[in-house]
């Protein structure tokens, strides 16, 4: 589609698409902090018109965003339940997004991927520039890259990886427009991602997808991602993989690399009460309830915090790097 060197200057509120190699769009998002730190919230699996504590989580996100002075918000997908949006005129967009995340501190760019529930509706609607006219915070694309000072965030469309959505759709229909044939869609995506990761000189490399690589929640690991995506992350010094899908909060360390797996899929309905593999190695934190995550990145430290519906910090940790290391 767009060749190397194509410069597009579409202004999207805060992010600006500055260059595209292959088909992966890149956005530059300057930090607003003088110290060059980058700060954001991560939430997933949320759009239920405020129900199931979505509004309570949104309220606490507003408070945390204000305190942290965030630069943007990341959504890990399943943006609208149960079946995505019906079209770009679907009032669910305002009912579950615009009218819920109303705090002043949340009036910033949202970077969003699609979840499997979004694919059960009109998936193209969420990608439509029309929604950005309705609410300029919104940016949802299949796979894209956000570069903000010392971090590159690689957003990956993980739903087409999951074979059971094609083979045993369990009565659901998925909007596979633009995906067929999935095999070449995935191999192109992986090729683009590998190239982008390998040339990245960012201090911190983060990959965001909807489905978990490692989770002890209801759905557990996604075998397709462990097989196809994880090796790329391990080979290219990725620091964090962030996902939703399981409606919980998790921090799990990879047993074969420094990668930390962070689940933030607790934006509304939670409390499934089933935990897989309680003795899985690397599990630092699991919370089967609603909440969200915050991230603060500096040249030397990544501070991660998990919040519950009351705004209480349930778990926090810091990953540190040598100031002079290139990775």
Q: At 199, which helix (H) or strand (E)?
A: helix 182-199
313 lies in the binding site for ligand NAG (CB under 6 A): no
Residues 42-81 that bind ligand NAG (CB under 6 A): 52-53
- The distance from CA 147 to its chain's CA centroid, rounded to whole angstroms, is 14
Ligand-binding site membership of 245 (annotated) = yes
Residues 6+ apart with CB under 8 A from 200: 152, 236
172: Cβ contacts below 8 Å, ≥ 6 apart: 83, 120, 165
Identify whether the C-beta of residue 19 lies closer than 8 Å to the C-beta of residue 7: yes
* Catalytic-role residue among 219, 251, 279, 315: 219
Q: Starting at the edge strand that comes first in sequence, how are the strands of the sheet with 109-112 ordered?
A: 138-140, 109-112, 72-75, 38-43, 291-297, 301-308, 313-320
Q: Which is nearer to ligand NAG, 275 or 327 (CB)?
A: 275
CB-closest chain residue to ligand NAG = 53
Q: Which tokens hold the place of 8?
A: 């597009």
Our finding on whether 100 is near ligand NAG (CB under 6 A) is: no
Among 13, 231, 282, 289, binds ligand NAG (CB under 6 A): 289
247 marked as binding residue: yes
Question: Quick check: 287 binds ligand NAG (CB under 6 A)?
Answer: no
Please confirm, yes or no, whether 315 is among the known catalytic residues: no
Cβ proximity to ligand NAG: between 132 and 272 the closer is: 272
112 binds ligand NAG (CB under 6 A): no
301 is in an annotated binding site: no
Kindly determine how many residues on this chain lie close enough to bind ligand NAG according to the rule CB under 6 A.
Answer: 7
Among 148, 290, 294, 298, binds ligand NAG (CB under 6 A): 290
By beta-carbon proximity to ligand NAG, the closer residue of 53 and 108 is 53
H/E run at residue 104: none
Report in angstroms how near the CB of residue 243 gets to ligand NAG at its nearest. Answer: 21
30 is written with which tokens? 């300057």
Helix-then-strand count for the chain, H and E? 8, 17
DSSP letter for 315, please: E
* Rounded Cα gap, residues 78 and 207, in angstroms: 17
Check whether 78 is labelled as a binding-site residue.
Answer: yes
- State yes or no: residue 166 binds ligand NAG (CB under 6 A): no
- Binding site as annotated, residues for Fe cation: 45, 78, 81, 116, 210, 245, 247
Binding site for ligand NAG (CB under 6 A): 52-53, 270-271, 289-290, 309
Instruction: Give the residue numbers annotated as catalytic, written as ranges.
Output: 219
């Amino acid at each position: 589609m767009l060749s190397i060197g194509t410069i597009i200057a579409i202004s999207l509120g805060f992010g600006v698409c500055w260059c595209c190699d292959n088909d992966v769009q890149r956005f530059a998002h300057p930090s607003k902090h003088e110290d060059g730190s980058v700060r954001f919230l991560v939430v997933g699996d949320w759009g239920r018109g405020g129900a199931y504590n979505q509004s309570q989580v949104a309220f606490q996100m507003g408070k945390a965003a204000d305190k942290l002075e965030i630069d943007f918000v990341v959504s890990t997908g399943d943006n609208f339940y149960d079946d995505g949006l019906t079209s770009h005129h679907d009032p669910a967009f305002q009912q579950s997004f615009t009218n819920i995340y109303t705090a002043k501190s949340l009036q910033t760019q949202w970077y969003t991927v699609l979840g499997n529930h979004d694919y059960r509706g009109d998936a193209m609607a969420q990608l439509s520039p029309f929604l950005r006219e309705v609410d300029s915070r919104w940016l949802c694309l299949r796979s894209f890259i956000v570069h903000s000072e010392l971090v590159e965030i690689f957003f990956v469309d993980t739903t087409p990886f999951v074979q059971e959505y094609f083979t045993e759709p369990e009565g659901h229909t998925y909007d596979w427009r633009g995906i067929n044939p999935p095999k070449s869609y995935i191999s192109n995506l992986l090729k683009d991602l590998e190239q982008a990761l390998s040339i990245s000189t960012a201090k911190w490399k983060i990959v965001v997808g909807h489905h978990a690589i490692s989770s002890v929640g209801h759905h557990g690991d996604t075998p397709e991602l462990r097989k196809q995506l994880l090796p790329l992350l391990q080979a290219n010094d990725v620091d964090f993989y962030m996902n939703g899908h399981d409606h919980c909060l998790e921090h799990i360390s990879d047993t074969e690399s420094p990668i930390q797996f962070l689940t933030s899929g607790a934006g509304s309905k939670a409390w499934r009460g089933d935990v897989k593999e309680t003795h899985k190695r690397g599990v630092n934190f699991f919370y089967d309830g609603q909440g969200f995550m915050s991230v603060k990145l500096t040249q030397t430290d990544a501070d991660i915090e998990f919040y519950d519906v009351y705004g209480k910090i349930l778990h926090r940790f810091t990953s540190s790097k040598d100031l002079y290391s290139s990775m």
